[in-house]
A and B are shown apart, each in its own frame.
Chain A
Amino acid sequence: MTATTLIPIGMGLIVLGAGLGIGKFAAAAAESIARQPEAADKITGAVNLPLFLLEGVAILAEVFTFLMLIL
Chain B
Amino acid sequence: MILAASGKATTTVMEKVGPNIISHVSNTYKTDYPPILKIDPFMGIDFSITKHVLMLWLVSLIVSITIIIPIRRYLSSGSPVPSGWVNAIEAIVKFIRDSIARPNVGEKWVMTWAPVLLTFFFFILFANGIGMVPIFDVLGSINRFIIGVPYSDKYNTINTMLNGGVTATANFNVTGALATITFFSIMIAGIMAHGFTKHWKNLVPHGLAWPVYIILVPIEIMGLFVKPFALTMRLAANMTGGHIALLALLSLMAIFGEMFGSAVAGIGVSLVAVPMAAAIAGLEVIVVLVQAYVFTLLTAVFIGMAIHVHH
Contact = CB atoms under 8 A, between A and B. Distances in A.
B236 to A, nearest CB: 8
Contacts of B234: 52, 55-56, 59-60
A70 B63 CA distance: 35
Interface in B193-231: 230-231
Contact of B233 (A48, A52, A59, A70): A59
Interface residues of B, number: 14
A60 B103 contact: no
Contacts of B294: 52, 56
A48 B231 CA distance: 15
Given A52-B294, A52-B297, A59 B241 contact: yes
B237 interface: yes
Interface string B42-70: 00000000000000000000000000000
B238 A49 contact: no
B99 A63 contact: no
A53, A56, A62 pick with most chain B CB within 10 angstroms = A56
A43 to B, nearest CB: 14
Given A45-B99, A45-B103, A63 B233 contact: yes
Nearest to A41: B99
Contacts of A45: 99, 103
Given A56-B230, A60-B230, A49 B237 contact: no
B180 to A, nearest CB: 18
B298 interface: yes
B130 interface: no
Contacts of B230: 53, 56-57, 60
Contacts of B233: 56, 59-60, 63
Contacts of B301: 49
B202 to A, nearest CB: 20
A59 B239 CA distance: 11
Contacts of A48: 297
B237 A62 contact: yes
Contact of A62 (B22, B241, B297, B298): B241
A52 B294 CA distance: 7
Contacts of A59: 233-234, 237-238, 241
Interface in A7-56: 45, 48-49, 52-53, 55-56
Interface of B: 22, 99, 103, 230-231, 233-234, 237-238, 241, 294, 297-298, 301
Interface of A: 45, 48-49, 52-53, 55-57, 59-60, 62-63, 70
Given A48-B297, A49-B301, A52-B298, 16 more contacts: A45-B99, A45-B103, A52-B294, A52-B297, A53-B298, A56-B230, A56-B233, A56-B234, A56-B294, A57-B230, A59-B234, A59-B237, A59-B241, A62-B241, A63-B237, A70-B22
